[in-house]
Amino acid sequence: MKLKDIPEHLKNANIRPTRKKVAIIEELIISDEPLDAYQLYRQVNSRKSVDLATVYRTLAVLRETNLVHEINDVSGISFYEILKNNSNSHPHFKCSSCGRYFCLPDIDEERKKILIEMAKGFRTSTISIVMSGECPDCK
Ligand SMILES: [Zn+2]
Ligand SMILES: [Zn+2]
């Protein structure tokens, strides 16, 4: 999703493109890393006044319409990212020191097949891999 396409994406999903919603999505697009709701709230507020409840509401709507992908942390915190290339099968890396999330390159088809075969007898709809350790800044 590109910045200029936001209103159209929202309209296609039957979401009214209010200025606050657009600002929240803009922030998700600009960010290279998945953000949790509070990080997102703080970053949006450096430019536009939006309350935390609006951020949560907007994220819920975007998640329902699959414009945003939610990553569930083992700690119970949800992180959110915009699907940039229609793929939600890229793995993530969680830094256990600074707590940031990083997107890793997409899993290629061959590796995806291996993973799906591991879940023999199941019907796989999403693959979600989170690796953890220390990021380049922290190690
Ligand atoms: Zn780190
Ligand atoms: Zn990602």
Q: Helix or strand or coil: residue 103?
A: strand
Query: What span, in angstroms and rounded, lies between the C-alpha atoms of 12 and 49?
Result: 26
Domain 87-139 annotated CATH 3.40.30.10? no
Q: List, by residue range, all CATH 1.10.10.10 domains of the chain.
A: 1-86
Q: Which protein residues have their CB within 5 A of the ion that is ligand 2?
A: 81, 103
Neighbours of 102 (CB within 10 A): 15
Q: Which fold has domain 1-86?
A: Arc Repressor Mutant, subunit A (1.10.10)
Taking only the tens of pLDDT, the chain with its 139 residues reads 788 888 888 888 888 889 999 999 999 999 888 999 999 999 999 988 999 999 999 999 998 888 888 888 777 889 999 876 556 678 999 999 998 989 998 888 999 999 999 999 999 887 888 899 999 999 9
First and final C-alpha spacing in the chain: 32
**How far is ligand 2, taken at its centre, from the CA of residue 116, in Å?**
20
The residue behind tokens 């803009």 is 26
Query: What span, in angstroms and rounded, lies between the C-alpha atoms of 10 and 90?
Result: 24
Counting ligands in written order, which one lies closest to the CA of residue 100?
Answer: 1
